[in-house]
Amino acid sequence: MFKQLCNRFGTPISVGIAALLLVWLIALVILPQLLMVDYSFRPNLLPSEIGGPKDSYSLVNYVTLFNNKIHLGIFFKTIWSSVMVTALTLVVSYPLAFYLAKVATPKQAALCLLLLIIPFWINEILRTFSWYIILAYNGPLNAMLQALGLIDRPLRFLSGNGGVMVGMVYAYILFMIFPLYNALESLDANQIRAARNLGASWAKTHLRIIIPHAKPGIATGCIMTFMLAAGSYAVPALLGSPGSRWFTQIIYNWFFEGGNWNQGAAYAFLLLILCIGFIGLVMKVFKVGLGDIAK
């Protein structure tokens, strides 16, 4: 990659770009993560006790999670819910991405992409609040369903995980659509026509031709959506109920309400490890490498 940069921009500019990337990786990614790991193995002490005999490395902060059944339950519920969000986002995004890549004309595709992107010019908090209004007990969705005679009384969409799931699918749908669109756009349409001419149904054409070709895009979209969903704070905080807390809310409470950065770092590091494991699992299931995902 560095040689390609040199060929395109010249050696001095390429060295500058590489240096800026290196500084960004070290200062904003690697060092904060190392600091978080260091915090997670140390006890929460008063400033006067830091560096003293009590300031030693241990697994106490990690053991706390496994001894707290409530936090452990929220942890596994967050992971499972993030998987469900990823699956729902894939189901919603795949037909749309296929339409944009292989069915729509260039003008239609451009218009659809513009309509998808425009709402994301608004801050995520405001977009989440809009869903809070839509799904409220006396909100427009319940009013419409009652007007159509589909329900007798308003439904409490925000009393469980339903509102959080809907909000997250909407919040992260672009992170699934664009990798899928990028992968499907490179598929030769003659392969689809050949499969159809040979008698393959649309279902078999998708299963045997289109989806295998789109595997890097599916893997990339699933990884990005899962990571964002598992690490989300605003959506579950605004659209969730007390019974649908997200693990990130527990981490936030440790850091900013409990003042225990060491315990919060341990929780955050465990979530990071599990997300990295999910990335490896997705890559293995779809049989793609980092190079395929980077495309």
CATH number (domain holding residue 113):
1.10.3720.10
Task: Using the predicted structure, report yes or no on whether residue 5 has a pLDDT greater than 80.
Answer: no
Reported as a pLDDT band with limits 50, 70 and 90, residue 222 is very high
Contacts of 85 (CB under 8 A, 6+ apart): 165, 168, 169, 172, 225, 226, 229
Q: Which of 243-247, 254-258, 267-271 has the highest mean pLDDT?
A: 267-271
How long a stretch of residues is the chain?
295
* 100 within a domain of the structure (yes/no): yes
Write the pLDDT tens digit of every residue in 266-275: 999 999 999 9
* 250 within a domain of the structure (yes/no): yes
Calculate ∠ Cα 210-215-220, nearest 5°: 135
Reported as a pLDDT band with limits 50, 70 and 90, residue 295 is low
Reported as a pLDDT band with limits 50, 70 and 90, residue 193 is confident
Reported as a pLDDT band with limits 50, 70 and 90, residue 10 is low
Q: Put residue 149 in one of left, alpha, beta given phi > 0 → left and psi -120 to 50 → alpha.
A: left
Q: Put residue 50 in one of left, alpha, beta given phi > 0 → left and psi -120 to 50 → alpha.
A: beta
Reported as a pLDDT band with limits 50, 70 and 90, residue 1 is low
Write the pLDDT tens digit of every residue in 108-135: 988 998 988 988 888 888 888 888 999 8
Distance CA 268, CA 7 (A): 41
Structure tokens at 111: 């218009």
The runs of H, that is alpha helices, within the chain are 2-9, 11-25, 31-40, 60-67, 69-98, 106-117, 124-135, 140-147, 162-172, 174-185, 189-197, 202-205, 211-213, 215-230, 234-239, 247-252, 261-286, 290-294
pTM of this structure = 0.87
Reported as a pLDDT band with limits 50, 70 and 90, residue 152 is confident
What pLDDT was estimated at residue 98? 93
Reported as a pLDDT band with limits 50, 70 and 90, residue 25 is confident
What pLDDT was estimated at residue 190? 86
What pLDDT was estimated at residue 2? 57
Look at the alpha carbons of 84, 85, 90, 95 in this order and tell me if their dihedral is positive or negative: positive
* 45 within a domain of the structure (yes/no): no
* 114 within a domain of the structure (yes/no): yes
Write the pLDDT tens digit of every residue in 43-101: 888 877 877 888 888 899 999 999 999 999 999 999 999 999 999 999 999 999 999 99
* 48 within a domain of the structure (yes/no): no
Average pLDDT of every residue of the chain? 87
Instruction: Provide the residue range defining the domain that includes 105.
Output: 68-294
Task: Using the predicted structure, report yes or no on whether residue 241 has a pLDDT greater than 80.
Answer: no
* 84 within a domain of the structure (yes/no): yes
Counting the structural domains of the chain, the total is 1
* 8 within a domain of the structure (yes/no): no
Q: Put residue 188 in one of left, alpha, beta given phi > 0 → left and psi -120 to 50 → alpha.
A: beta
Nearest to 131 by CA among 177, 170, 172: 170
Write the pLDDT tens digit of every residue in 155-178: 888 877 888 888 999 989 999 999
What pLDDT was estimated at residue 55? 81
Q: Are 62 and 266 in contact (CB under 8 A)?
A: yes
Look at the alpha carbons of 108, 109, 112, 117 in this order and tell me if their dihedral is positive or negative: negative
Q: Is 84 exposed, middle or buried (0-12, 13-18, 19+ CB in 10 A)?
A: middle
Q: Are 209 and 191 in contact (CB under 8 A)?
A: yes
Task: Using the predicted structure, report yes or no on whether residue 225 has a pLDDT greater than 90.
Answer: yes
What pLDDT was estimated at residue 268? 93
What pLDDT was estimated at residue 228? 92
Task: Using the predicted structure, report yes or no on whether residue 192 has a pLDDT greater than 70.
Answer: yes
* 56 within a domain of the structure (yes/no): no
